[in-house]
Each structure stands twice: as structure tokens, then as C-alpha cells.
């Protein structure tokens, strides 16, 4: 087991040295890196969000079942019977498809080309082309949409990437019908260690707000009736797995000073080691 870890670490180290890495990568660079592609595919089947577990659960398996539970959680938090949704950063389309199976029409957007390709392929394979539209779209600029077409807008672990969160929220506000619901499932880091700062910068997650940050942002953006649920304990089993699987390779990368080139390994281990320095939250807000 450990020998395999050393071999894998050596192999990845070689690739890192050959490929190099940026100090502050763009979103596209982060998701297009060899490590992100392999990691998300191998561990998460290209669904790029956390699973939801019972509090106190130890086993993260089966991961896909826990990920569907997280999607179910977002669905219940939205609390909408039917209508039109904007999936504002769909990745490979799994959340959008979940909502479509629940009866919604979904407009899915993303900026990463290979995620869009994947999402289109998955939507087609599931026969959902009439329920899910997949298009390029940056949530900082949604002017191509007429005002107020959506009953609900959600992000699943994507708002953390926003360069200008106020602008993104005001775009969402403009696109929601009055009474429309906003749902955000996001990380929220209040007391970052130095290494966690590195993790956030290297994964282009600069929009992690201090505690109370979401409340301030939402009321400034005109939303009301917001509620925030803390799901941190319920995502721990998956992060524990990342921490354990990545621990040995991460220590080896640190010896060679190349840990910054393996941002997902670093994130998995550092978030686990610094558990409690951040929260996973479910935000729900209504446009008056
Ligand atoms: C962690 S993944 C989550 C994907 C998907 N929601 C899921 O749960 O599988 C974050 C996604 O946000 C997208 N993204 C980042 N910045 C974006 C932006 N400005 N506009 C649209 N999508 C963005 C990335 O391309 C990536 O697909």
C-alpha cells in the first residue's frame, strides 16, 4: 500500500516537474491541470462536489450515493415545486440532471470548455436534452439573459471562485423572478492557516468569506429571508478520505518543495488537518 503511494508520488512529481505550475492559476488553468482532471475523475467520477453524510459517519463510501444526497439537500433547500432553474456553474452537469429528473427545466452554464463538453455528453446520454440546456456562461456577465426568467438559481461549490461576488449576486438578483429562490452550497473559511491560504489561492477559491460575510453580502444585494445551514460535520467523511489518501504523497512533495504543484492533494490534506477552520454551508435567500 505504502510502496504504491511512493510510486504514485514519484510519478506525479515527475509530471509536475515537467509541466510546471502557475502561482495564481485562473479557474480554467486549475480545472484543466493534469492533477485536477485525474483527481476529479478517479475519486469523484467528475461530479465536482462533496457528498452529504449522516453526522458522525466514518465511511465515505459509496461516494456517488452521498453526492446524490447533497443534490437532494440542495433541491429541498430550494423548496420549489417546479419551474426554471439556472445552474450557475454546472461542471459535468450532474446537479443540473438531478434537478431535471425532479421536473425542472434547467439552464446550465460554465466557463471550462471540457466541463461543458462533458455536461452536454451526459445530458444527451440521459435523454435530457429537452430539460437541460448547456451553454458557455460566466456568472460575472449574464447580460445575454433577459431579466427575471428564473424561479431559482443555485451554485454548487462554485461561488467560491467568484472574483467579484457582489457583481455575481447582483446578476443573480436581476435574473430571478420576484419571490425567486437563491441556493448556494459553498465553503466558508473564517480562520485560515497559511497553508489554507495557499490552497485557496492555488485553487482560485479567493471568494471564501469570513463568518457573517454571506449575510452581509446578501442583504447588501437586496435579498431577504435568508437562512444558513452549517453542513460541515456532514461532509467530513469525504475530506477525511482525501486527507488519508493524500497524506504520504503530500509529505513526499513537501520534501521536494513541490507541494504547490499538487493543489488537490494539498487541499485534501490541509483541509483535513485544519478541520474546524472553515465551514461548509447551505445558503438560501429570496428575492423580494
Ligand atoms: C467545483 S466545480 C463544481 C461543478 C458542479 N457544480 C458540480 O457540483 O459538479 C466549480 C465549477 O465552477 C465553474 N466556474 C468557475 N468560475 C466560473 C464562472 N465565473 N462562471 C461560470 N462557471 C464558473 C468551473 O468551471 C467548475 O466547473
Q: Is residue 81 part of a domain?
A: yes
Residue 225, in any domain of the structure: yes
Domain-located, residue 131: yes
At 239 the pLDDT is 95
Q: Is the pLDDT of residue 17 over 60?
A: no
pLDDT at 278: 85
pLDDT band at residue 138 under the 50/70/90 scheme? very high
Q: pLDDT at residue 9 above 60?
A: no
Q: What is the DSSP string of 168-234?
A: HHHHHHHHEEEEEEEEEEEEEESS--HHHHHHHHHTT----PPTTHHHHHHHHTT-EEEEEEE-HHH
197 located within any domain:
yes
pLDDT for 192 = 61
**pLDDT tens digit sequence for 84-119:** 999 999 999 999 999 999 999 999 999 999 999 999
**Residue 119 covered by a domain:** yes
* pLDDT interval class at 26 (50, 70, 90): confident
Pocket residue to mutate for ligand 1, from 161, 166, 185, 242, most atoms within 8 A of Cβ: 161
Q: Is 62 exposed, middle or buried (0-12, 13-18, 19+ CB in 10 A)?
A: exposed
Highest mean pLDDT pick, 90-104, 178-192, 271-285: 90-104
Determine the Cα–Cα distance for residues 140 and 125; give it in Å rounded to an integer: 30
The residue whose CA has the least distance to atom 10 of ligand 1 is 158
What is the whole-number distance in angstroms between the Cα of residue 4 and the centre of ligand 1?
A: 32
161-171: average pLDDT:
95
pLDDT of residue 182: 98
Check pLDDT > 60 for residue 10: no
Residue 276, pLDDT score: 83
pLDDT at position 3: 45
Across residues 136-148, what is the average pLDDT? 96
pTM of the entire structure? 0.91
What mean pLDDT comes out for the span 205-210?
77
Residue 215 lies in a domain: yes
Does 2 have pLDDT greater than 80? Answer: no
189 has pLDDT over 80: no
Residue 125 belongs to some domain of the structure: yes
Contact 78, 59 (CB under 8 A): no
Nearest to 132 by CA among 90, 185, 182, 176: 90
Least confident of 114-123, 142-151, 193-202: 193-202
Q: pLDDT value at position 42?
A: 83
Residue 39 Cβ inside 6 Å of ligand 1? The answer reads: no
Question: In this structure, what is the dihedral angle of CA atoms 76, 79, 84, 85, given to the nearest 10 degrees?
Answer: -50
E strand residue ranges, 61-175 = 84-88, 105-110, 132-136, 150-156
Instruction: Tally the domains of the chain.
Output: 1
CATH of the domain at 156: 3.40.50.150
Q: Does the residue 160 lie in any domain? A: yes
Q: What's the pLDDT at 7? A: 45
pLDDT value at residue 4? 44
Confidence of residue 190 (pLDDT cuts 50, 70, 90): low
113 backbone dihedrals φ, ψ, rounded to 5°: -55, -45
Is the sign of the CA dihedral 129, 42, 240, 277 positive or negative? negative
| Nearest CA, atom 14, ligand 1 | 89
**Cα–Cα nearest to 57, from 205, 234, 223:** 234
The number of the ligand 1 atom at minimal distance from the alpha carbon of 92 is 9
Do 169 and 196 contact (CB within 8 A), yes or no? Answer: no
pLDDT in tens, 43-67: 888 899 999 999 999 999 999 999 9
Q: How far apart are CA 62 and CA 108, in angstroms?
A: 26
- Ligand 1 contact, 139 CB (< 6 A): yes
Owning domain of residue 155: 52-241+276-286
pLDDT value of residue 205: 84
Over 70: is that where the pLDDT of 121 sits? yes
Q: For residue 193, is pLDDT > 90? A: no
Query: Mean pLDDT throughout 130-148?
Result: 97
Q: Is the CB of 111 under 6 A from ligand 1?
A: yes
Amino acid at each position: 500500500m505504502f510502496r504504491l503511494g511512493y510510486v504514485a508520488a514519484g510519478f506525479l512529481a515527475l509530471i509536475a516537474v515537467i509541466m510546471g505550475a502557475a502561482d495564481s492559476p485562473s479557474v480554467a488553468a486549475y480545472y484543466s491541470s493534469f492533477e485536477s482532471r485525474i483527481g476529479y475523475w478517479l475519486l469523484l467520477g467528475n461530479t465536482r462536489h462533496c457528498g452529504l453524510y449522516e453526522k458522525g459517519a466514518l465511511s465515505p463510501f459509496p461516494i456517488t450515493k452521498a453526492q446524490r444526497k447533497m443534490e437532494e439537500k440542495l433541491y429541498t433547500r430550494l423548496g420549489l415545486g417546479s419551474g426554471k432553474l439556472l445552474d450557475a456553474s454546472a461542471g459535468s452537469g450532474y446537479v443540473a440532471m438531478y434537478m431535471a429528473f425532479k421536473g425542472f427545466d434547467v439552464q446550465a452554464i460554465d466557463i471550462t470548455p471540457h466541463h461543458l463538453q462533458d455536461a452536454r455528453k451526459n445530458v444527451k446520454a440521459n435523454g435530457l436534452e429537452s430539460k437541460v440546456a448547456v451553454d458557455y456562461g460566466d456568472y460575472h456577465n449574464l447580460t445575454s439573459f433577459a431579466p427575471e426568467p428564473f424561479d431559482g438559481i443555485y451554485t454548487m461549490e462554485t461561488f467560491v471562485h467568484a472574483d467579484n461576488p457582489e457583481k455575481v449576486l447582483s446578476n443573480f438578483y436581476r435574473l430571478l423572478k420576484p419571490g425567486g429562490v437563491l441556493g448556494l452550497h459553498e465553503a466558508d473559511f473564517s480562520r485560515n492557516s497559511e497553508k489554507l491560504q495557499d490552497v485557496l489561492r492555488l485553487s482560485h477559491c479567493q471568494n471564501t468569506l469570513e463568518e457573517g460575510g454571506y449575510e452581509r453580502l446578501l442583504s447588501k444585494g437586496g435579498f431577504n429571508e435568508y437562512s444558513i445551514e452549517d453542513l460541515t460535520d456532514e461532509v467530513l467523511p469525504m475530506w477525511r478520505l482525501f486527507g488519508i489518501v493524500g497524506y504520504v504523497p503530500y509529505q513526499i512533495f513537501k520534501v521536494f518543495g513541490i507541494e504547490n504543484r499538487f493543489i488537490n492533494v494539498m487541499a485534501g490534506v490541509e483541509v483535513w488537518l485544519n478541520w474546524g477552520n472553515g465551514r461548509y454551508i447551505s445558503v438560501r435567500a429570496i428575492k423580494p
